[in-house]
Amino acid sequence: MRLGLNNKVFLVTAASGGLGLATARALVDEGAGVLLTSRSQERLDRAVSILGGTQQAIGLAADLSDPHAADLAVKAALDSFGRIDGAFVSAGGPPKGHVAEVSDEQWRASFDSVFLGAMRVVRAIVAVNRAATLGFVLSTSVKVPLTNMALSNGLRPGLGMLVKQLADEIGPDGGRAFGMMPGSIATQRLIDLNKGTPDPDAARAASEAAIPLRRFGQPEEFGRVAAFLMSEAASYVTGCVIPVDGGSLRSL
């Protein structure tokens, strides 16, 4: 299948590792150019090297909780590649916490990075290209609450609904918007969360036993789905939130 990504250019956030880097790799493998953002320039430099250097990948250190970061990233993409066709928006997952234990400061910090950061990217991209393709890394907490993850349970469903509204708003101009709900993907974040349990091996075995495919997913499996959804091959897919979870989500 030809994905039609050759010479397209996308902003990919939180792209120095994990799902962002896996998606950037899949996009570059299909011929797209990517402008990667992350808070660490050192990690971005490594990511650019992994992607084959600066011909198709450029890194810009930026924190999406900064109100100006999205505009600077879009400008950098336009200056470097001459175009911007969309964005794939990921943000570091918010910390664990019970509803009654999460502080105001944690809510504000997570809202800035997870929610407002995504909306700032939307505004910056749509200002220059209303026919853009906009993908968002969400969570299965869009559909079902996750245990001890109050911040994710509070913020991700709202972003999921805005995906639907955004699709309505940019669709007439040819733009698309979608969300992705990763389940247990073996990123460093998941590995670290697992290590924080009293018995990491038992915790992983219990988690995998609850997944129909009986294993954690690999970042590249997520990245391939993301690249397809960003591509012309998925040109009639918009306004939806799609699980990539090995079948673990128990709702439709």
Residue in 177, 185, 248, 252 with CA at minimum distance from that of residue 216: 185
Per-residue pLDDT tens for 182-230? 999 998 888 887 888 899 899 999 999 999 999 999 999 999 999 999 9
Local structure of residue 175 (DSSP, 8 states)? -
Tokens for 30, please give them.
């299909």
- Strand order in 240-244's β-sheet? 57-61, 33-38, 9-12, 86-89, 133-137, 176-182, 240-244
User: Considering the chain, what is the average pLDDT of its residues?
Assistant: 94
Residues 63 and 57 sit within 8 Å (Cβ to Cβ): no
User: Can you say how many angstroms the Cα of residue 208 is from the centroid of all Cα atoms in its chain?
Assistant: 23
Residues 9 and 84 sit within 8 Å (Cβ to Cβ): yes
Q: Which residues of 242-252 are buried (b: 16+ CB within 10 A; e: fewer)?
A: bbbbbebbeee
Residues 19 and 35 sit within 8 Å (Cβ to Cβ): no
The rounded percent of the chain whose pLDDT value lies above 90 is 87
Tracing tokens 């495919």 back to the chain, one arrives at 213
The pLDDT score that the predictor gives to residue 60 is 97
Per-residue pLDDT tens for 95-105? 889 999 999 99
Residues 14 and 242 sit within 8 Å (Cβ to Cβ): no
The pLDDT score that the predictor gives to residue 192 is 84
Sorted by where each starts, the structural domains of the chain and their CATH numbers stand as 9-187+219-241 (3.40.50.720)
Burial (Cβ within 10 Å: 0-12, 13-18, ≥19) of residue 80: middle
What phi and psi values does residue 136 have, to the nearest 5 degrees? Answer: -130, 130
Is pTM beyond 0.85 here?
yes
